[in-house]
Amino acid sequence: MDKFHFTTIVSNDHLFKFIAMYASLDMHCNDYKLYALCASKEAYIILKAINFKNIIIYNLKELEDEKMLKAKGNRVFHAYCWTLKPFFLYYVMQNHNDSLYFAHLDADLCFYNDPMLIFDESPNASIYLTHHRNSEMFLKFYKITGIYNTGFVGCRNDKTAHFAISQWRDKCIENCPIKEDLENKIFGDQRYVENWPSEFKKVHVVNSLGANAALWNISDYTVTANENNIFVNNQLLIFYHFSGLTIISQNEFNLCWYYRIENKDAIFHIYILYLTILSNAIKDIKKYFPWFDSGFLARIHTPDTHYFKLD
């Protein structure tokens, strides 16, 4: 039995980021399988050809049933990818059940330490959620995005988790709006998990500030490092969520759509390491698959918030 079965959704726009996420995960976790559902033909062709260690590739067409095709037809592609998150996580939980823990991982995460640190906080919990911990600038977004961020949703292999994830899947198939619905408290796949702590037993809201650090909370943290680890407010950084980071070219990026990140230690210790991994992923893919040109956004189409060129 594996310790972890992780799942993720890979679109053309997130292929480079997925490879960077996998590279970071493989550095820090040694007992896992990563199941990747390719939402595009091109991503499937490339990942199948590379045949990465510990990655199991699925083609979306293999799994789409009548309900999913109906959902696909009534929402934009981005919202459909959100819909696929609980759909694929539940599929893996049902069909690859030989694991102690499961977790959905967004493709734009990067690991800086062992994910087991998250589960070690409460080893017998059924569900693991991460709080947004929004900084003052992002407090207004709670009413839109909700309390918890579903870039990471972890669970133990038990009945409670199976039921919760199946419920999340069903609600997303029914409705997964790209625009917030404030009246019904719905936004994409995200706010459906908001009531889990009151609905289910053994829901653990992760204590560590180092789990799901991101642009919406990093301004509140002091970032330090020693030879082996990075810390946020003296707590180990486990993974960072690079939501809002845009790839302009192999060495050019917009770090944040909302503001310029003034925390120089965050840039030096967190961002540059990720950008280096990401740049190498782009270089390798372009070398062997020169026809692949997705995942980039020209600088003229990105906001002038935090342009960064990797030396």
CATH classification of the domain holding 24: 3.90.550.10
Q: Which strand ranges, in their side-by-side order, compose the sheet holding 239-241? A: 109-111, 239-241, 211-214
* Distances 76 to 80, 83, 84, 153, 299 between C-alpha atoms, Å: 6, 11, 13, 23, 24
φ, ψ of residue 208 to 5 degrees: the values are -65, 130
The Cα 46–Cα 191 span in angstroms is 33
pLDDT for residue 167: 98
Range of the domain at 110: 2-309
Q: Choose among 232, 202, 231: nearest CA to 133.
A: 232
pLDDT digits 0-9 by tens, 146-189 = 999 999 999 999 999 999 999 999 999 999 999 999 999 999 99
First-to-last alpha carbon distance for the chain, in angstroms, is 43
Measure CA 35 to chain center: 13
The pLDDT of residue 28 is above 90: yes
pLDDT at 141: 96
Round to whole Å and give the CA distance between 283 and 199.
Answer: 46
User: Where does the pLDDT of residue 227 fall: very low under 50, low under 70, confident under 90, or very high at 90 and above?
Assistant: confident
Is residue 149 within 8 Å of residue 244, measured between CB atoms? no
Q: Quick: pLDDT tens for 50-86.
A: 999 999 999 999 999 999 999 999 999 999 999 999 9
Residue entry with tokens 């033909």: 41
What is the total count of domains within the chain? 1
Predicted confidence (pLDDT) at residue 214 exceeds the cutoff of 90: yes
Please say if the pLDDT value at position 25 is more than 90: yes
Q: What pLDDT does residue 206 have?
A: 98
Tokens of 109: 């995460």
Give the C-alpha separation, 48 to 285, whole Å. 13
Prediction pTM value:
0.97
- How confident is the model at residue 311, as a pLDDT? 87
